[in-house]
């Protein structure tokens, strides 16, 4: 087995303003090609799943690029963890990044 990619997909934390709406994306090539079954979730500092209020839309896959739903409605001062679970060649991976909500 080849060396696995770093699970943290962006240098974090990423700053995002409370009124911004951002669809983060990344390439799966460090883990393999042709990803499938992608699911995104976002958690607050208390490790509560806040996906219902902080994600808008669905995950999109185009080739080796996964685009997350829009990240919205973040509370300033909170650091969130955005996780994206997907499959490549029968393996399941779950990279993540941290987003710091700002004013």
User: Could you tell me the domains of the chain?
Assistant: 14-102 (2.60.40.1220)
pTM attached to this predicted model: 0.92
pLDDT tens track for 23-80: 999 999 999 999 999 999 999 999 999 999 999 999 999 999 999 999 999 999 999 9
Backbone torsions φ then ψ of 28, nearest 5 degrees: -90, 0
Residue 1 confidence class, pLDDT cut points 50, 70, 90: very low
At 9 the pLDDT is: 87
pLDDT at 3 over 60: no
């Amino acid at each position: 087995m080849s060396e696995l990619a770093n699970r943290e997909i962006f240098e974090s934390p990423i700053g995002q303003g409370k009124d911004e709406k951002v669809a983060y994306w990344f390439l799966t090539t460090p883990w393999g090609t042709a990803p499938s079954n992608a699911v995104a979730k976002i958690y607050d500092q208390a490790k509560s799943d806040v996906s219902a209020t902080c994600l808008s839309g669905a995950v999109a896959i185009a080739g080796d690029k996964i685009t997350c739903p829009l990240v919205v409605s973040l509370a300033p001062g909170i650091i969130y963890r955005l996780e994206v679970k997907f499959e490549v060649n029968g393996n399941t991976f779950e990279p993540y990044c941290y987003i710091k909500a700002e004013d």
